[in-house]
Amino acid sequence: MSKLFNATPSRTVEQVKPDVSGGGWRDMVGLLVFYAAIFVFFAFLSPFFLSVENLINLLVAASTLGIVAVFMTMLMIGGGLDLSVGAALALTGMVIAVTMNQIGIWPAVVLGLVSGTLVGVANALLVTWAGINAVIATLGTLYVARGLALVISDGLTKPVFDERFALLGSGTVLGMPVPVVVALLLFAIGFVVMNYTTYGRALFMVGGNAEASFLAALPVKRYRFVAYTLSGFSAALAGVILTARLYAAAPQAATGLEFSVIAAVVLGGTSLAGGKGTLLGTALGVLILGTLNNGMTLLSLSSDYQQIVQGLVLALAVAIDQIRLGNVDFAVFRRHK
């Protein structure tokens, strides 16, 4: 133990072997089986599900969730949580919509990205430096960002159309939709960062035991600050892509996105307690939620029922996480039989 506390930061981080397997290969196989069952279920019920057009639409719709989920995974591995991503996404879109006619579309996009990223910076300051609980801090910035989006738009949906900008939402790269390409690139970058960089390995240590990491001379606050900032940036980037895809920005856009992201991340094996997770599992979680939403839409289920299913998936993800952590005492159930 003394060797750990007395080691230099670089040596400590280099020696750590991060738990990148999330819940283990057994859980990963379980996720694959679960996804296959959902896929077959909707393919059987809807004749349109397996069409190429629908599968592309499924991936494009899930890309928004995936873009945000990459850095949310990194943040949660580091022991953080961000409930403001949906509001940051909406604020980004509204900033683009209300400024594009005055300053041009691309400066407006840059301003939108900065606005969404600043939400992440605000979260970082409140959580890491002010010491406010992450749930309370990010819930506060959620309301502030959503309120700002409503104020600057007068509560109205604003059209956003520019042929070049629209390519970010409807264009293709080598036959693959741009939103999907962006999501895949972020997953690839996140995988490299979490598995092959000092920062990524340090996040596992910080999330697993922040106090021991601090005693080992790791800059815990700085690492978490970066993670919260990246979470805000990913929400802003998703806001740019979604705005380009829909040709409009709405102050109520992405309401509830934060819970879908958390459900996908936790379902994929990342622990709410921090220190454990995998981006591959998150990708599967994103596909599961994306397929559920797509399938329910094809079956003409109302949004009310879709919210019920999403809530059940979130509850299931949290329950699975608690079981992984050993916080569920099954002996209690056996005693009450």
Taking the C-alpha atoms of residue 24 and residue 234, their distance in angstroms, rounded to an integer, is: 27
Q: How far apart are CA 130 and CA 126, in angstroms?
A: 5
Name the nearest CA neighbour of 322 among 263, 264, 272. Answer: 272
**How far does CA 26 lie from the centroid of its chain?**
23
- The pLDDT, as a whole number, for residue 3 is 36
**pLDDT surpassing 90 at residue 40:** yes
Residue in the block written with tokens 């873009």: 67
Cα separation, 72 vs 317, whole angstroms: 15
pLDDT tens per residue, range 140-196: 999 999 999 999 999 999 999 999 999 999 999 999 999 999 999 999 999 999 999
More confident residue, 289 or 7: 289
Model confidence pLDDT, tens digit, residues 188-245? 999 999 999 999 999 999 999 999 998 888 999 999 999 999 999 999 999 999 999 9
What is the chain's mean pLDDT, rounded? 88
Report residue 26's pLDDT band, with 50, 70 and 90 as the boundaries.
low
Counted residue by residue, the chain has a size of: 337
Strand 248-249 relative to strand 158-159, pairing: antiparallel
Residue 167 and residue 244 in contact, taking contact as beta carbons nearer than 8 Å = yes
What's the CATH architecture for 2-14+45-324?
A: Orthogonal Bundle (1.10)
Confidence bin at 9 (pLDDT 50/70/90): very low
Stronger pLDDT, 311 or 140, i.e. the higher one? 140
Residue 4 has pLDDT above 50, yes or no: no
Please check the confidence at residue 329 and state whether its pLDDT lies above 60.
no
Concatenating the DSSP letter of every residue in 104-155 gives -HHHHHHHHHHHHHHHHHHHHIIIIIS---HHHHHHHHHHHHHHHHHHHHTT
* pLDDT value, residue 6: 36
- Alpha-carbon span 272 to 278, nearest angstrom: 13
Q: Which of the four pLDDT bands, split at 50, 70 and 90, describes residue 1? A: very low
Q: What is the pLDDT of residue 116?
A: 97
**pLDDT digit string (tens) for 62-76?**
999 999 999 999 999
For residue 18, pLDDT beyond 60: no
What pLDDT does residue 28 have? 77
The C-alpha atoms of residue 324 and residue 31 are separated, in whole angstroms, by: 14
pLDDT more than 90, % of the chain: 73
Q: Is the pLDDT of residue 257 over 50?
A: yes
- Least-confidence region, from 14-18, 87-91, 165-169, 282-286: 14-18
**End-to-end Cα distance, the chain:** 44
All structural domains of the chain with their residue ranges: 2-14+45-324
- Where would I find the H helices in the chain? 2-6, 9-15, 25-45, 52-77, 85-103, 105-124, 134-153, 163-170, 178-196, 198-208, 210-215, 220-246, 257-267, 279-298, 303-325, 330-335
Task: Tell which residue, 180, 192, 89, 80, has the closest CA to residue 137.
Answer: 80
Lowest pLDDT segment from 28-37, 105-114, 209-218:
28-37
pLDDT confidence of residue 282: 95
Please name the residue that has the structure tokens 């979470």: 231
Percent of the chain with pLDDT over 70: 88
Per-residue pLDDT, averaged over 1-23, amounts to: 43
